[in-house]
Amino acid sequence: MSAGRSGTSLTWLEIVRLGLVQSAIGAIVMLATSLLNRVMVVEYALPAALPAGLVAWHYAVQLSRPLWGHGSDSGRRRTPWIIAGMGMLAAGAVTAVWALGVIAGGSTFGYALAVLAFAVIGAGVGAAGTSLLALLARQVAPDRRAGAAAVTWIMMVAGIAVSAGIAGALLDPFSFARLLRVVAGVAGVALLVAILAVTGIERGSLTAVDARVAPPPARFWDALAAMWADREARRFTGFIFLSMLAYAMQDLILEPFTGLRFGLSPGQSTQVSGIQHGGVLLGMILTGVAGSGASGRTAAGMRRWIVGGCAGSAIALCGLAVAARVGPGWPILANVFALGFANGVFAVAAIGAMMALASAGPAGKSHGKSHGESHAKSPGESHGEGLRMGIWGAAQAIAFGLGGVTGAVAVDAGRALTGSVPNTFMVVFGVEALLFLAAAAVSLRSPPRAVRFDREVVL
């Protein structure tokens, strides 16, 4: 019997179940970063800097992802870490609403409580998200990794969209009591869905005999040093940071750009965002389907999709730079859709490559094995998937936290210095394009490690 059948390979149904966990994570994060943002600024007339600072703080707390990942590497199973993270995430969201009520009551204690709540939210995302990706990296067959990446990302977006629609419908007419009930209800349902989805899905946990013969887990700093000594892992960390920084820089400026340069109304600008996300979803689906074949069996194979997605994103951003100069008459909707499509391609390919590199472990660890042994692991054996996913997740969190702020500040600074909207957006979109090209160059510099998996192991 093949290794894939005997111990670790997840079926597509099980991959979809784990995608439900991502949906649950996205649903609760939406409550904290989007819904509460609007409520604080609009309904309670609080400074916009408060929710922005709290969201940035929750990204900063996600620098703890390597610790959560290493912890799940050291344990017998990752399921408890996922459930514990989801519990923290749900509790943090409810506490954030409670903090808002305390702030509205005039107590400064509410601000400290809000900081604590978003710290718990960040820790919950780190624990649940990192452990989930590590579980996928270990137990998804190589030829299914691109598809698994697409499924989990699409389901996360779906979770955000569904929870936003439900919460929005239930909040009217607005009151604090209703807000608390809605957030508690959505968070509770999401937590329950995640628990049901992940329960019983993990395979290959340590038995009592395995526990006695398995080597003791490395200390965190020793494991981190060993991981960082891997040149390809370091380069991939740089790629994640550069590409996600470019990806995030456009978040806060694309809609204002279409309004300032093309005269679109707020409603039309929002539709532009929908067109972009439609392109993202199509790119994810295409890469997930096409990448779940021979080209998806190696990190080098996924690298071709990464480079294509980054190059396509750079070309689309160059188109937006030209659009800033040309103005009305430029096919802006097609340009935005193309940007979203290329973003979706590179995002799914990057997650697929991340799974492959995390599962492979340090360079050379899976080399030299005979046919049919290249990826088989004994129960409990770990290549540090959690730690690696944690490092890359921390790089992504930093990039997301910096990207939105950097893009917005760059636009404000450019307009103040030059007084020209077209020139400002030309420069900012051009810088984003260069970042994507730099990310592609970093990816290409990574040597094509021989992380190959035989069909007998996969099927």
pLDDT band of 383, cuts 50, 70, 90? low
| Mean model confidence pLDDT for the chain | 82
Q: What's the rounded mean pLDDT across residues 135-149?
A: 85
Q: Give the residue from 158, 193, 179, 174 showing the smallest Cα distance to 94.
A: 179
Written as six digits, the tokens of 102 are 């305390």
Quote the percentage of the chain above a pLDDT of 90. 36
Separation CA 85–CA 187 (nearest Å): 13
- Each residue of 183-202: pLDDT tens digit? 999 999 999 999 999 998 88
Separation CA 236–CA 250 (nearest Å): 22
Q: What are phi and psi of 328, to 5 degrees?
A: -50, 140
The three-point CA angle 194-381-88 to 5° equals 25
pTM of the entire predicted model: 0.79
Residue 304's contacts (CB-CB under 8 Å, 6 or more residues apart) are: 295
Task: Evaluate whether 359 touches 375 at the Cβ level (below 8 Å).
Answer: yes
Task: Evaluate whether 21 touches 90 at the Cβ level (below 8 Å).
Answer: no
Task: Evaluate whether 14 touches 147 at the Cβ level (below 8 Å).
Answer: no
Q: What's the rounded mean pLDDT across residues 79-107?
A: 94
Residue 18's contacts (CB-CB under 8 Å, 6 or more residues apart) are: 10, 132, 135, 136, 148, 152, 197, 198, 201
Task: Evaluate whether 292 touches 143 at the Cβ level (below 8 Å).
Answer: yes
- Each residue of 395-407: pLDDT tens digit? 888 888 888 788 8
Q: Give the residue from 72, 120, 85, 69 showing the smallest Cα distance to 195.
A: 85
Separation CA 370–CA 375 (nearest Å): 10
Q: What's the rounded mean pLDDT across residues 146-158?
A: 86
Give, to the nearest 10 degrees, the angle between helix 12-30 and helix 109-139: 170
Q: What are phi and psi of 397, to 5 degrees?
A: -65, -45
Written as six digits, the tokens of 64 are 């703890």
Q: What are phi and psi of 170, to 5 degrees?
A: -85, -15
Distances (CA, A) of 234 to 12, 190, 220, 241: 31, 35, 17, 11
- Each residue of 216-250: pLDDT tens digit? 567 878 877 888 888 888 888 899 999 999 988 88
The predicted structure's pLDDT at residue 19: 93
Q: Give the residue from 210, 196, 143, 133 showing the smallest Cα distance to 380.
A: 210
The predicted structure's pLDDT at residue 419: 85
User: Is the predicted pLDDT of residue 88 greater than 90, yes or no?
Assistant: yes
User: Is the predicted pLDDT of residue 143 greater than 90, yes or no?
Assistant: no
User: Is the predicted pLDDT of residue 451 greater than 70, yes or no?
Assistant: no
pLDDT band of 17, cuts 50, 70, 90? very high
Written as six digits, the tokens of 423 are 């020139």
- Each residue of 271-294: pLDDT tens digit? 787 788 889 889 988 888 876 654
The predicted structure's pLDDT at residue 249: 87
pLDDT band of 1, cuts 50, 70, 90? very low
In CATH, what class is 3-458? Answer: mainly alpha
Letter string b/e over residues 168-196, b meaning 16 or more CB atoms within 10 A of that residue's CB: eeebeeeebeebeebbbebbebbbebbbe
Domain boundaries, the chain: 3-458
Q: Give the residue from 400, 395, 49, 427 showing the smallest Cα distance to 251.
A: 400
Quick one: residue 368, left, alpha or beta (phi over 0 = left, psi -120 to 50 = alpha)? left
Residue 349's contacts (CB-CB under 8 Å, 6 or more residues apart) are: 146, 149, 287, 291, 302, 303, 305, 306, 308, 309
pLDDT band of 393, cuts 50, 70, 90? confident
Written as six digits, the tokens of 34 are 């989007």
- Each residue of 25-67: pLDDT tens digit? 999 998 888 888 888 887 888 887 888 889 889 989 999 999 9
User: Is the predicted pLDDT of residue 331 greater than 80, yes or no?
Assistant: yes
The predicted structure's pLDDT at residue 217: 61
CA atoms within 13 A on the CB side of 394: 19
The predicted structure's pLDDT at residue 278: 86
With H, G, I as helix, E, B as strand and everything else as coil, classify residue 338.
helix
The predicted structure's pLDDT at residue 268: 75
Q: What's the rounded mean pLDDT across residues 162-181?
A: 88
User: Is the predicted pLDDT of residue 382 greater than 70, yes or no?
Assistant: no
The predicted structure's pLDDT at residue 83: 96
Q: Which residues pair with 328 in a beta bridge?
A: 330
With H, G, I as helix, E, B as strand and everything else as coil, classify residue 328.
strand
Please report the DSSP string for 87-118 in residue order: HHHHHHHHHHHHHHHHHHTT-THHHHHHHHHH
Q: Give the residue from 437, 431, 405, 439 showing the smallest Cα distance to 324.
A: 431
With H, G, I as helix, E, B as strand and everything else as coil, classify residue 324.
helix
